[in-house]
Amino acid sequence: MTTRLTVAQAIVRFLEQQYVERDGAETPFFAGCWGIFGHGNVAGIGEALLEREHASNRTGEHALRYHQARNEQAMVHAAVGYARHRDRLAAYACTASVGPGSTNMVTGAALATINRIPVLLLPGDVFATRVANPVLQELEDPRSLDVSVNDCFKPVSRYWDRINRPEQLPLSLLAAMRVLTDPAETGAVTLALPQDVQAEASDWDDELFARRVWRVSRQPVAEDAVARAASVIRGAERPLLIAGGGVIYSNATEAVRAFAELTGTPVAETQAGKGTLPYDHPQAVGAIGATGTTAADTLAEQADVVIGVGTRYSDFTTASKTVFANPDVRFVNLNVASFDVHKLSAEALLGDARAGLEQLSEALVGWRAPEAHTARATELARAWDETVQRAHDQAHGPLPAQAEVLGVVNRATRPQDVLVSAAGSMPGDLHKLWRTRDHKGYHVEYGYSCMGYEIAGGLGVKLAALDAEEDRDVVVMVGDGSYLMMAQELVTAVQEGVKLIVVLVQNHGFASIGALSESLGSQRFGTRYRYRTRTGLDGDKLPVDLAANAASLGARVASVTDLAGLEKALAEAQAADTTTVIHIETDPMIPAPDSPAWWDVPVAEASVLESTRAARTAYEKNKTRQRAYLSPPASPAPSSPEGSTDPTGHQ
Ligand SMILES: Cc1ncc(C[n+]2csc(CCOP(=O)(O)OP(=O)(O)O)c2C)c(N)n1
Ligand SMILES: [Mg+2]
């Protein structure tokens, strides 16, 4: 049997029938489709979504839900926020018009791919038939008419294709689904859709539209690898486990806790892995790396075996390859992606985080880290928590410090509420200071650290919580710089009746880059929002009123001047049905308690500025601490039963 549909209609029908299954639970993969229409998709994907909305309204059948956004980059952020909160088991498609609408999505694509979060991008493309070319917004590359702006998606997509003929579609759709649902492969998937092809009809085999279930099975780690890793860990005196985002996505937080309690290993967390253990678990030592706690970073410095689970070891995690300072340090990595599992010359445990941790726990029965090590980790964590408390209670004036604002928000929110942030001084402060009490309670996008993710990403998280029927407030913390870059999805939150609580921290510029700039000798140049004078951008503060701006976008707004006001406004926002923006001004010159670790940001090697020359001297000293971690895995080969290690069974 066949059905006659356009390419766009076939895509929508196909997407509606894709399901994933993990641990026996089967759920639809696509929550819907975000879109902004233009001539490149209005009568293609746009028409197809309209037909399905009509059908759904008429008969109640399952159809792809359409969401309107204000900006294509932001709609990809919303899609990513959604998919991350759903542990990558559900995602969105995003349709954009040919040209600028499409390239607006490139940043979102990079963000998705870097964070390993699935999103299906459907940029419109120029006519495949080329009869009327060049069309409005066409690139016209004189070297090849086969090039369009959508080629920009290639390096930021895990799968990229252009559908030039209807016959090509089925295989590409299946390839897209394979990548989107594979935890080792996932990221942005781009199917560029020429505007004429979207509207072209074909007779499709009905099997294309049959319900299809993609199994996300928990790949166990090979037994010989488990045995090797266990022998390395058994030799450890100062082990440290690092929990990355893969722990959360794999639902392996309980397995980490069991492993930690069984072996006495302390647990540190990356940005994406934060929340793996509640902050007050005796073996939780908090944030690792450049924005790490004194507890985690001290333990990392001395660790002889580092067990990295579901982490890609970004420079923030490794403090630019300085934080693991023990000359004999060895790594054991558990990761579903081969690309990540071999990093830092680790003993490689390729497989699912939960399955692998269970295997490792079994292989380590009877072994514990020295009691003194476990007890010391608890002590160090307690000392850091006292630092956090002091930062919350510093009573700085006349304007509060940002750390105090975080403290009030942390106290006012429930354990299950989700904190969302992405760029500026907030992620580092939150990584160190936020007391996470639920494994989905902390959502900071720090793979791409993209200014503008905050509100759009928060909208996606809230949609995900609603779809999963979870009672969670989503609290977005955003700086004035990020807000000015991309605040407009507040309109979408209002349109969708989706409630966000946005805490907007006004400090008149880029405080984070200001502090970084100063530490690197660049004197906060270009980081304050000030009027131009004869000497530069060093006049009075700009007269922007972000509270008025938020109100103009339809949000409830509370403008507060102190912490008591913030507390009251948060309580009112929690009681409200609609999105609230709470505007508070802070003192940008008061940093959060410092992390002991370093971050490699190059300083000019030659300069007339004394501040730069001083910073360069410090830089060169720090550079000498960097390590390559090239020492090959040194574990013994496992002893095999029957004297054979050949997996094929041949002697
Ligand atoms: C899209 C984008 N552009 C530039 C940067 C570099 N950057 C990182 S933080 C920052 C300033 C953020 O300002 P704001 O949101 O006010 O936060 P604050 O630093 O004041 O806490 C900049 C420019 C970035 N991360 N993302
Ligand atoms: Mg700012």
Which ligand 1 atom is nearest residue 588's CA? 20
Instruction: Tell which one of 448, 503, 505, 513 to mutate to probe ligand 1, the residue whose CB is within 8 A of the most ligand atoms.
Output: 513
Task: Measure 107 CA to ligand 1 centroid, in angstroms.
Answer: 15
Helix (H, G, I), strand (E, B) or coil at 642: helix
C-alpha 13/C-alpha 51 separation (Å) is 11
506 pocket-lining for ligand 1 (C-beta < 6 Å) = no
Packing angle of the helix pair 72-85, 489-496 (nearest 10 deg): 60
Residues in the chain: 651
Other beta carbons within 10 angstroms of residue 9's beta carbon come to 23
C-alpha 274/C-alpha 604 separation (Å) is 34
Residues measured by CB to lie within 5 Å of ligand 2, the ion: 479-481, 507, 511
Task: Measure 72 CA to ligand 2 centroid, in angstroms.
Answer: 24
Which pLDDT belongs to residue 635?
61
User: pLDDT by residue (tens digit) across 181-203?
Assistant: 999 999 999 999 999 999 999 99
**Which amino acid is it at 523?**
Q
449 pocket-lining for ligand 1 (C-beta < 6 Å) = yes
Tokens of 200: 């072209």
425 pocket-lining for ligand 1 (C-beta < 6 Å) = yes
Spatial CA neighbour of 549 closest among 458, 488, 501: 488
Which pLDDT belongs to residue 96?
98
510 pocket-lining for ligand 1 (C-beta < 6 Å) = yes
Which pLDDT belongs to residue 209?
98
Region 316-322: mean pLDDT is 98
Spatial CA neighbour of 358 closest among 256, 222, 208: 256
447 pocket-lining for ligand 1 (C-beta < 6 Å) = no
Considering every ligand atom, which ligand is closest to the CA of 402? 1
User: pLDDT by residue (tens digit) across 430-473?
Assistant: 999 999 999 999 999 999 999 999 999 999 999 999 999 999 99
pLDDT band of residue 634 (cuts 50, 70, 90) is confident
Q: How many CA atoms lie within 13 A of 63 on its CB side?
A: 18
List all residues 6 or more positions away from 55 whose beta carbon is below 8 Å from its beta carbon.
Answer: 61, 63
pLDDT at 80 > cutoff 80: yes
Task: Measure 187 CA to ligand 2 centroid, in angstroms.
Answer: 30
Helix (H, G, I), strand (E, B) or coil at 335: strand
- Phi/psi of residue 309, nearest 5 degrees: -115, 120
403 pocket-lining for ligand 1 (C-beta < 6 Å) = no
Which pLDDT belongs to residue 238?
98
Percent of the residues in the chain that have a pLDDT greater than 70, as a whole number = 97
In 3-state terms the chain splits into helix, strand, coil percentages (rounded to 5) of 40, 20, 40
477 pocket-lining for ligand 1 (C-beta < 6 Å) = no
Q: Are strands 18-22 and 25-28 parallel, antiparallel or unpaired?
A: antiparallel
List all residues 6 or more positions away from 143 whose beta carbon is below 8 Å from its beta carbon.
Answer: none
pLDDT band of residue 633 (cuts 50, 70, 90) is confident
Spatial CA neighbour of 478 closest among 465, 495, 459: 459
482 pocket-lining for ligand 1 (C-beta < 6 Å) = yes
Region 245-251: mean pLDDT is 98
User: pLDDT by residue (tens digit) across 477-502?
Assistant: 999 999 999 999 999 999 999 999 99
Considering every ligand atom, which ligand is closest to the CA of 601? 1
313 pocket-lining for ligand 1 (C-beta < 6 Å) = no
User: pLDDT by residue (tens digit) across 1-16?
Assistant: 999 999 999 999 999 9
Region 503-524: mean pLDDT is 96
Spatial CA neighbour of 81 closest among 13, 156, 153, 31: 31
Task: Measure 183 CA to ligand 1 centroid, in angstroms.
Answer: 30
423 pocket-lining for ligand 1 (C-beta < 6 Å) = yes
Mean pLDDT of the chain: 96
Residue 325 exposed, middle or buried by CB count within 10 Å (0-12, 13-18, 19+): middle
> Which residue reads 């008025």 in tokens?
548
Which pLDDT belongs to residue 642?
45
pLDDT band of residue 63 (cuts 50, 70, 90) is very high
Specify the residue with its C-alpha closest to ligand 1, atom 7.
424
Which pLDDT belongs to residue 645?
43
Q: Are strands 119-125 and 159-162 parallel, antiparallel or unpaired?
A: unpaired
Other beta carbons within 10 angstroms of residue 326's beta carbon come to 15
User: pLDDT by residue (tens digit) across 331-352?
Assistant: 999 999 999 999 999 999 999 9
Are 429 and 593 in contact, with CB atoms under 8 Å apart? no
481 pocket-lining for ligand 1 (C-beta < 6 Å) = yes
Note the pTM of the prediction, 2 decimals: 0.97
Specify the residue with its C-alpha closest to ligand 1, atom 12.
424
The sign one gets for the Cα dihedral 107, 108, 110, 115 is positive
Specify the residue with its C-alpha closest to ligand 1, atom 8.
424
Three-state secondary structure string covering 561-593: CCHHHHHHHHHHHHHCCCCEEEEEECCCCCCCC
Q: Kindly state the DSSP code that residue 545 receives in the 8-state scheme.
A: -
Kindly report which listed range (22-36, 177-191, 621-635) carries the lowest average pLDDT score: 621-635
C-alpha 315/C-alpha 321 separation (Å) is 7
Task: Measure 533 CA to ligand 1 centroid, in angstroms.
Answer: 24
Specify the residue with its C-alpha closest to ligand 1, atom 10.
424
pLDDT at 649 > cutoff 60: no
Are 232 and 332 in contact, with CB atoms under 8 Å apart? yes
pLDDT at 651 > cutoff 90: no
C-alpha 179/C-alpha 410 separation (Å) is 37
C-alpha 578/C-alpha 463 separation (Å) is 14
